[in-house]
Structure 1
Amino acid sequence: MHHRHTLAAVAAGILLTAGIGATIPAGATNAPHSPTRATALVVNARWGGHATFDRLVIDVRGAMPPVTVHQVGALHYDGSGGRVPLAGKQFLEIRLSPAAAHDDAGKSAYQGPRLLKIHLPALKGVALTGDFEGVVTIGAAFDTKPVYKTFRLHSPERFVVDIAHPVGCRA
């Protein structure tokens, strides 16, 4: 008998929890311009040359998601797997997730380059390589193996990659 009462209490708790969750409007936390948006929006990628390094900055609206940076042999478009036609011998793949480069209506929120050749001492190109299944991927191209450091800046949210100029380079 005691077992039935415990089982009934657990079932009631599950139903109560499900009922409370169902009363929250589906779009309440995902409004495109809401500061409580669950998924960060990647809105731009920009770059600049400095005396000893080149800088790539990724602008994010909302809370900065986890970011990974990996050296890869080639860049590929997420989803299709097609090779990104960005000139270079070395590449960095920058992945932000959970993130999107489009709003809830499917309209692009990303205003940065889709595929662009750049003429800086280290950085040779930038491409948006993916906005697929909650992952935004940006690729960067280099002629030599990049030596880089990453960090975050706030107000507004930015992810920064500083790439050292190649040895013997004069900016």
Structure 2
Amino acid sequence: MTPTQSAVIRPLLVALVAGTIPLAASTSTAAAAPYCGIHWGSLAKSTGTLLPGPITNVRTGRHACYDRLVVDLRGTAPGYTVKYVNTFTGQASGLPIPLRGGAKISVTVMAPAYTPTGSASFVPTNPAEVVDVAGYSTFRQVRWDSSFEGYTQLGLGVRARLPFRVFRLQDASTSRLVIDVAHRW
């Protein structure tokens, strides 16, 4: 300990022991308020079963506290698996697929991107850039992998490993899978 540090710390310790400094004032706030009230984590989220309702669109949105990815579907909301991965790999090929960003999220929707008759229900114009996310706080890239045996996979490149949530919304004939990724912890 340097002489300067001793000169500052010693009087504080004496005052604390003497009871002239309240204990609460002498400690820092260990549990700061969560960013935007977000209590999400970064662990994998998965639920549901395979459904035939096909994917009809993929879109994104920017919000004050998070960036949002929405997968639009016809019919009942399907199951999903959304998780951080070290390497995003093709579900049919098993080969690595590059994604921009400091972290990678694999999004598997338990629904096809084709109708029961086999015609495509959604085909991205550019599979490497399904949606333009330039200027987003968290998203760096939305990349299409494939729709294989009823499962559709997308890669989501994000700035860093940040908290996220996943939920489903249902209307009379359509549904949406929503993935929100916080701007920071």
1:13 paired residue number: none
Secondary structure at the aligned position of 1:106 is classed as coil
CA deviation map 1:107-157 (0-9, x unaligned)? 321144522162211011111212111211111111210211111112230
Counting only pairs closer than 5 Å after superposition, residues 140-155 of structure 1 correspond to structure 2 as 140-155=156-171
Letter in 2 for 1:158: R
1:164 paired residue number: 182
> After TM superposition, where is structure 1 displaced by more than 6 Å over at least 4 residues in a row?
none
Distance 2:120 2:90 in 1: 17
Distance 2:162 2:128 in 1: 19
RMSD over aligned Cα atoms? 1.8
TM-score under structure 2 normalisation? 0.63
Distance 1:52 1:83 in 2: 31
Match of 1:134 among 150, 155, 158: 150
2:12 paired residue number: none
2:91 paired residue number: 78
The answer (yes or no) to whether the contact 2:77–2:169 under 8 Å persists in 1 is no
Secondary structure at the aligned position of 2:161 is classed as coil
Letter in 1 for 2:120: S
Distance 1:76 1:51 in 2: 31
Query: What percent identity do the matched residue pairs reach?
Result: 29
Match of 1:102 among 114, 121, 125: 114
The answer (yes or no) to whether the contact 1:121–1:166 under 8 Å persists in 2 is no
More strand by share: 1
TM-score under structure 1 normalisation? 0.68
Match of 1:90 among 103, 115, 118: 103
Structure 2 alignment gaps of length 5 or more: 1-50
Distance 1:91 1:85 in 2: 9
Structure 1 alignment gaps of length 5 or more: 1-37
Number of residues paired by the alignment?
Answer: 129
The answer (yes or no) to whether the contact 1:122–1:142 under 8 Å persists in 2 is yes
1:44 paired residue number: 57
Distance 2:97 2:127 in 1: 10
